[in-house]
Amino acid sequence: MANLDKQTLSEKIDASIDRAVDYLSRHQLHNGEFIAYMAPDPEMQEWCAPDSITGITAVIGSCLVPLQHREDVNNMLARSVNFLTYNMFRGGVWGYYTKWNQLFKLLPPDTDDTVLISGFLKKRNALPVDNTSMLLLNRAKNGLFYTWFTIHSNFLQYSRTFWRLIARELKLPVKSILFWTMNDHRRNDIDVVVNANIVCYLGYNEITKPAVKFIRDVLVQNREKGSDKWYLNEIVYYSFLSRLFELDIPEMTAIKELFITKLFNAIKASDIFENCDLELALGISSLLRLGVKDEKVTQYLERLLSRQSKNGEWRRFELVSGPSRKLVWGSEETTTAYCIEALHLYRGQSASQGRN
The DSSP-derived string for 313-350 is ------SEE-TT-SSEEE-HHHHHHHHHHHHHHHHHHH
pLDDT in the model for residue 322: 86
d(CA 317, CA 73): 23
pLDDT in the model for residue 1: 38
Task: Please answer whether residues 148 and 187 qualify as being in contact, where contact means their C-beta atoms are separated by less than 8 angstroms.
Answer: yes
The predicted model scores a pTM of: 0.94
Domains of the chain and CATH, by start? 2-355 (1.50.10.20)
pLDDT in the model for residue 106: 85
Over its length of 356 residues, how does the chain's per-residue pLDDT go in tens digits?
344 466 699 999 999 999 999 999 999 999 999 999 999 999 999 999 999 999 999 999 999 999 999 999 999 999 999 999 999 999 999 999 999 999 898 889 999 999 999 999 999 999 999 999 999 999 999 999 999 999 888 888 999 999 999 988 877 777 777 777 777 778 899 999 999 999 999 999 999 999 999 999 999 999 999 999 999 999 999 999 999 999 999 999 999 999 999 999 999 999 999 999 999 999 999 999 999 999 999 999 999 999 999 999 999 999 999 888 999 999 999 999 999 999 999 998 876 665 44
Task: Please answer whether residues 270 and 279 qualify as being in contact, where contact means their C-beta atoms are separated by less than 8 angstroms.
Answer: yes
Sheet containing strand 320-321, edge to edge, reads 49-51, 36-39, 328-330, 320-321
Task: Please answer whether residues 152 and 188 qualify as being in contact, where contact means their C-beta atoms are separated by less than 8 angstroms.
Answer: yes
Residue 87, classified by CB atoms within 10 Å of its CB into exposed (0-12), middle (13-18) or buried (19+), is: buried
pLDDT in the model for residue 2: 47
